[in-house]
Amino acid sequence: MAQRVSVNDGAAGSKRTSRVRVAVRLRPYLDKQDEKGEGPCVRGLGPQKLEIINWRNATETLQYQFDVFHGEQTTQQEVFLTSVKPILPHILNGQNASVFAYGPTGAGKTHTMLGSQEQPGIIPRAVKEVFKLVDVQEKEQDGWEYSVGMSYLEIYNEKVLDLLSPGSQDLPIREDKDRNILIPGLTRTPLLSFTDFDTHFIPASLNRTTASTKINQRSSRSHAILLIKVVKSQRGPPHRQQTGKLYLVDLAGSEDNRRTGNQGIRLKESGAINLSLFTLSKVVDALNAGAGGRVPYRDSKLTRLLQDSLGGSAHSVMITNIAPEYRYYFDTFSALNFAAKSKQIVNRPFVRETVLAPTIGKQCSFMFFFFLFSFLFVNNRVCNDDNFIPSLLAPLKRAREEQEAGGSGEPQNKKSKEGKKAERSSSPPVHPHSSPDSSVLDRLLALEKMMMGSAERERLNLLKTVAQSRKEIQMLKEKQKELEDKANMLNKQNETVEKESKDALLFKTNLPPLHRKQSTAAKPRKQQAVVTPLQVSQVQPLQQCAVVCKPSQFLDKKKKRIQIEVCEGKENGGVDRPPADDVNWESHLDSALLEQSRKTILQTLNSGSLKDLKSLQLIGDKKAKLIMGWREIHGDFTQV
């Protein structure tokens, strides 16, 4: 069974809590990245301090303090010795450790974790150090043996992919009863030495998704996680087993798509990367807030896998990579703020230990019964005799009764006589040569208790469970009966209510149903509209308003046109309504009057104000403004 042992009980710790250690590494200044020649915006003030220019006021600076600050001249060896090596011994004692690189794209995270052949990064150095520690421990501790294995995966577009088997699909993330994060189906490769690791890790690293952007020629498009698992097993009983894990995480950098020029697939990849990093920031904020609130580990697969590293049970180190150029200013500023929040997170490491319970195998039990029955046959006893075992155990029982009688204060002779009488009346006589050894009797008595007591106990437990289940079934039947009675009562009440309502409806609906009557009266004729003639700015004499009217033969029969009649000799120029007959009329204006009206309208359109344009028929405020705008752009109108 698995047990949790506090860090105080382990061999490599003295604290129950472990704060996340934060180291900041500054990339060397590149002239190619600084197009304007503005110089660096960040500089170190010591082994733990640095400052950055305040973007609100260029004359001021903002200072930060972390556990370690690695300047531009820091080597890979110095980064490993000061930040990573101190947490590696915890792995061999059943605890977890985690190292992950964070920062914007192009700041040097992959170089810090992987490095090159001339300058290896943290991953190869850490694995080599683990094998060195294992060799030292095997020499010092003879009763323990160690096994090392590796797994390698990437999170690409929120999909967990196995880098050791490139053809695998999206893998699920699970959690066991001990709240350990598991990935079913993930390949685990056993390692015997560092050369084995090198042969498996280099081809798997080539399977990681990378692409080129405007800022970084080889930009990581996924988060890569390397898992090193060390199992420490005890050779002898009680066969203890301790399991430690080392997580080495190379995070993809946050990207500004305006500067990287991402499009299509690159844009989708950057969206997934920024979303997972934003969820990581929310997790850090929730952990710092405390108060038992919800921590959104499940909002992203990255935070789900880093659950043990942030606020979990691991010794964690975060290496924040930043760039000194001004074009990375806001990325560097946000990365430093994130690092400052992360160093406040507290983890609670413990030793993961498993103890194997001792079990009696089938072969051992078979040999035990074989020797038992051979002993019985050697003593010429008949195995199928029902009184054999009671007669064999009678002397031992008699001796225990005598001891009990002696301890209770009664005379031993009386007790012994009563015991002899009861024995003679209850048990048959025992052969004189059948007095077995006391040790054998003890073993037989223990065997009888082991064989009979377990079955009797199981039978009693079974009877109890059966009786309890019967009681529960009876109670459920009674509740069901009560519910059925209530349902029948409600049905009867509903039936009576429905009958009463039907009777009331029958009483009310004896009268014939009401229908809407169709109106027989003639519909009033709609009033026909009267259209006034075109208005002009000057009043024309009445004699020029002569209208020649003639019947129209081309009008639609369904639509009744408007009859306009302007009579000569009327001073008011009024319009009379047409007679109410079926004859349709069509109006025709005088050509001279029409031409004069067109000129007047054209003059108004070309030189009239907004008020003059609105005085025209069918011209509102919006159309008048459109006419004035068109007139300013294209000039005067030529015709109406």
DSSP assignment of 19-77 equals EPEEEEEEPPP-TTT-SS----SEEE-SSSEEEEE-SS-TT-EEEEE-SEEE-TT--HH
Greater confidence (109 vs 566) lies with 109
Greater confidence (7 vs 192) lies with 192
Q: Convert 329-366 to b/e letters by CB count within 10 Å (16 or more is b).
A: bebbbebbebbeebbebebebbbbbeeeeeeeeeeeee
535 pLDDT above the threshold of 80: no
Share of the chain above pLDDT 70, in %: 68
Q: Is 143 annotated as a binding residue?
A: no
Q: Is 10 annotated as a binding residue?
A: no
Of the candidate ranges 220-224, 535-539, 618-622, the one whose mean pLDDT is the lowest: 535-539
Q: What is the mean pLDDT of residues 507-524?
A: 47
Q: What is the pLDDT of residue 610?
A: 84
Greater confidence (155 vs 546) lies with 155
- DSSP annotation of 605 reads H
Query: What does pLDDT average to over the chain?
Result: 76
Q: What is the pLDDT of residue 1?
A: 42
471 pLDDT above the threshold of 50: yes
Residues 6+ apart with CB under 8 A from 151: 162, 164, 183, 186, 187, 188, 189, 226, 227, 229
Count CB neighbours of 106 within 10 A.
26
Distance CA 562, CA 557 (A): 13
Would residue 606 count as lying in a domain?
yes
Would residue 271 count as lying in a domain?
no
- Tokens 């302007």 locate to 566
Distance CA 24, CA 52 (A): 13
Q: What is the pLDDT of residue 516?
A: 41
564 pLDDT above the threshold of 50: no
Helix then strand then coil, in percent of the chain rounded to 5, is 45, 20, 40
- Tokens 């942030």 locate to 310
Decide: helix, strand or coil at residue 361.
coil
Would residue 17 count as lying in a domain?
no
Please enumerate, as own/partner, the contacts of 522-530 that have beta carbons within 8 Å and a separation of 24 or more. 525/580, 528/560, 528/562, 528/563, 528/577, 528/578, 529/562, 530/562, 530/564, 530/575, 530/577
Residue 292 zone, left/alpha/beta (φ > 0; ψ -120 to 50; rest): left
Q: What is the pLDDT of residue 636?
A: 84
Q: What is the mean pLDDT of residues 22-28?
A: 94
627 pLDDT above the threshold of 50: yes
Q: What is the mean pLDDT of residues 373-377?
A: 53
Which two structure tokens, joined as six digits, stand for 537? 């700015």
Which two structure tokens, joined as six digits, stand for 549? 């009217």
Q: Report residue 576 CA to chain centroid gap.
A: 81
Element (H, E) at 150: strand 144-156
Distance CA 360, CA 378 (A): 26
Count CB neighbours of 103 within 10 A.
29
* Distance, first Cα to last Cα, the chain: 99
Q: Is 105 annotated as a binding residue?
A: yes
Decide: helix, strand or coil at residue 120.
strand
Greater confidence (415 vs 373) lies with 373
Domain residue limits at 629: 594-634
Q: What is the pLDDT of residue 415?
A: 45
Q: Is 103 annotated as a binding residue?
A: yes
Of the candidate ranges 465-474, 515-524, 559-568, the one whose mean pLDDT is the lowest: 559-568
Contact 172, 183 (CB under 8 A): yes
Contact 330, 103 (CB under 8 A): no
Q: What is the mean pLDDT of residues 58-71?
A: 91
Residues 6+ apart with CB under 8 A from 158: 272, 276, 300, 301
Confidence of residue 450 (pLDDT cuts 50, 70, 90): low
Element (H, E) at 136: helix 122-140
Residues 6+ apart with CB under 8 A from 580: 525
Q: Is 166 annotated as a binding residue?
A: no
Q: What is the mean pLDDT of residues 370-385?
A: 50
Would residue 615 count as lying in a domain?
yes
Closest C-alpha to 149, from 160, 167, 134, 138 = 134
Longest dimension (CA), the chain: 165
Q: What is the mean pLDDT of residues 374-392?
A: 51
The pTM (predicted TM-score) of the whole model is 0.56
34 pLDDT above the threshold of 90: no
Residues 6+ apart with CB under 8 A from 163: 152, 153, 154, 204, 205, 207, 208, 224
Q: What is the mean pLDDT of residues 146-161?
A: 93
Greater confidence (104 vs 438) lies with 104
Distance CA 583, CA 300 (A): 81
pLDDT tens column, 265-285: 888 888 888 899 999 999 999
Distance CA 483, CA 491 (A): 12
Distance CA 338, CA 115 (A): 24
Closest C-alpha to 346, from 22, 92, 13, 87 = 22
pLDDT tens column, 587-604: 556 788 888 888 888 888
Q: Is 574 annotated as a binding residue?
A: no
Q: Is 620 annotated as a binding residue?
A: no
DSSP string for residues in 405-467: HHHHTS-HHHHHHHHHHHHHHHSPPPPTT----HHHHHHHHHHHHHHHHHHHHHHHHHHHHHH
Would residue 170 count as lying in a domain?
no
Would residue 626 count as lying in a domain?
yes
Q: What is the pLDDT of residue 614?
A: 84
Q: Is 104 annotated as a binding residue?
A: yes
pLDDT tens column, 95-141: 999 999 999 888 889 899 999 888 999 999 999 999 999 999 888 88
Into how many domains does the chain fold?
1
Cα–Cα distances in angstroms (integers) from residue 365 to residues 332, 451, 456, in the given order: 69, 12, 20
Greater confidence (9 vs 292) lies with 292
Q: What is the mean pLDDT of residues 574-581?
A: 45
Of the candidate ranges 125-139, 203-217, 423-437, 463-477, the one whose mean pLDDT is the lowest: 423-437
Would residue 604 count as lying in a domain?
yes
569 pLDDT above the threshold of 90: no
Q: What is the mean pLDDT of residues 554-579?
A: 43
Which residues on neighbouring strands pair with residue 220, listed in sequence order? 210
Total count of residues recorded for the chain: 640
Q: What is the pLDDT of residue 84?
A: 95
Distance CA 422, CA 241 (A): 56
Greater confidence (181 vs 522) lies with 181
